[in-house]
């Protein structure tokens, strides 16, 4: 049993005291394997004040020195790579091989990228008689989810540190252990006291205390749209800058002439990655009505290859969900879809009474546009197939959503796909199977959020603009 009793505040491990504990479950067995403190508002304030004290000196560091600190932190984190893979795989249920590549390898690459950005000297932009400077926003509260715990922390923390901001991090209590490993790495790397602080607790208590604290200048949140609305409302009380990366119901639009086999394979892979627990997963597959029969056969064959099993089994391609609560929620949405007599195209093998939070994947289709599973984020291994009657109809269906995080377009060629992409209201769109780009801005339209993460755009979320006017040009 892993028992965490201390939090990382102002450069030291501090006892959380006599507070309730959150139990961290092994997704594959359902058993508790760790506990972390559910700290209170007093510790939130202590961490926020530490970040505020550390801010002036950190913001004033020359770029090369900030970059050196970030590089040392990355090296200390990389030395803990195996421990990170083990903890994240147990917490989230993602197969270990994928965890190593995506959940750990991706963040390590991002830390390197932000160290390089931090080293750059930012010359002011000249506009007429003005010089425009970018300056760190101040102490930031970063509140992160459980589905990609280290990745989501990195996209905020590494960018904020590179920008010259200081941070208080509150990870999800469902998957908090990689954040503790990160704090150990920061301590070993000699990050100045107060620049990075780690606290754990619930959203309603710890999260809201951080958002409301007067020392916090900005809030970066990733999570559900409902929780994001609450964060935005609280931050508005203090007129604080807010960045929100929220839910999605991303559409993969397949046009006539597209490679159906490639489109189906990629969409299934996206939808089922991390057992569907991915905010930008392609969970709506919009296909030509006349090709539904072909698509159905491809989906049946493709789904059969997703072996459900334990994360540490090399044969596993689909692991469990992250929690009992998540399993209950996803199964309820599937049951409601079945009760509405929405056809099932394909379904994975029933896991039976095995322990853990396993849910077999299911593909529904054709799904009515008004159905819950076509409109709401399931966050589980569920794909909805909808049909269109031409490009205009396909784009209408894709845009008929409160969300706009991501999308994909499949067409006979990239030019046709790009033309269609311009008609989709989403923050990031892949054409004909293009890969994810860590340097490109990531974020959504509509109820998928406000602001952007990743790359230079993510760094700029943690900076303010200052305009200085000169009498003469």
What positions carry a catalytic annotation? 245, 279
Tell me which long-range contacts 430-436 makes (C-beta under 8 A, separation of at least 24).
430/406, 432/258, 432/259, 432/262, 433/262, 433/263, 433/266, 433/408
The tokens describing 444, both together, are 């959504």
Are 175 and 24 in contact by the 8 Å Cβ rule? The answer is: yes
Q: Measured at the alpha carbon of residue 374, what is the angle toward residues 371 and 379, in degrees to the nearest 5? A: 120
């Amino acid at each position: 049993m892993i028992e965490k009793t201390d939090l990382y505040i102002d450069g030291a491990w501090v006892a959380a005291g006599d507070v309730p504990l959150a139990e961290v479950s092994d997704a594959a067995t359902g058993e508790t394997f760790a506990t972390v403190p559910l700290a209170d508002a007093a510790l939130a304030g202590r961490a926020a004040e530490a970040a505020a004290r550390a801010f002036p000196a950190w913001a004033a560091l020359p770029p090369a020195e900030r970059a050196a600190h970030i590089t040392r932190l990355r090296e200390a984190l990389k030395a803990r790579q195996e421990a990170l893979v083990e903890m994240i795989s147990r917490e989230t249920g993602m197969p270990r091989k994928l965890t190593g590549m995506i959940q750990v390898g991706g963040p390590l690459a991002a830390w390197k990228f932000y160290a390089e950005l931090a080293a750059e000297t930012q010359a002011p932009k000249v506009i007429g008689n003005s010089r425009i400077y970018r300056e760190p926003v101040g102490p930031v509260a970063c509140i992160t989810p459980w589905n990609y715990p280290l990745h989501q922390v990195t996209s905020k923390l590494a960018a904020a540190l590179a920008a010259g901001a200081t941070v208080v991090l509150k990870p999800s209590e469902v998957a908090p252990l990689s954040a503790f490993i990160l704090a150990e790495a920061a301590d070993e790397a000699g990050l100045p006291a107060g620049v990075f602080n780690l606290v754990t607790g619930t959203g309603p208590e710890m999260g809201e205390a951080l958002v409301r604290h007067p020392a916090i200048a900005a809030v970066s949140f990733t999570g559900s749209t409902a929780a994001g609305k609450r964060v935005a409302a609280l931050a508005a009380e203090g007129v604080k800058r807010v960045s929100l990366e929220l839910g999605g119901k991303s559409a993969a639009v397949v046009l006539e002439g597209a490679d159906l086999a490639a489109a189906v394979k990629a969409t299934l892979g996206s939808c089922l990655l991390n057992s569907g627990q991915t905010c930008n997963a392609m969970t709506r597959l919009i296909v030509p009505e006349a090709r539904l029969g072909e698509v159905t056969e491809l989906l049946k064959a493709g789904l059969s290859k997703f072996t459900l099993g334990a994360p540490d089994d090399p044969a596993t391609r689909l692991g469990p969900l992250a929690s009992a609560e998540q399993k209950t929620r996803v199964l309820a949405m599937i049951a409601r879809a079945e009760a509405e007599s929405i056809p099932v195209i394909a379904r994975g093998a029933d896991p039976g009474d095995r322990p853990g939070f396993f849910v077999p994947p299911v593909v529904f289709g054709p799904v009515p546009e008004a159905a819950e599973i076509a409109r709401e984020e399931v966050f589980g291994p569920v794909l909805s197939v909808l049909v269109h009657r031409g490009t205009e109809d396909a784009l209408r269906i894709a845009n008929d959503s409160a969300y706009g995080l991501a999308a994909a377009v499949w067409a006979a060629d990239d030019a046709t796909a790009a033309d269609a992409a311009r008609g989709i209201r989403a923050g990031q769109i892949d054409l004909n199977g293009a890969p994810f780009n860590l340097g490109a801005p990531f974020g959504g339209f509509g109820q998928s959020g406000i602001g952007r993460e990743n790359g230079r755009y993510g760094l700029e979320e943690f900076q303010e603009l200052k305009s200085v006017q000169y009498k003469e040009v």
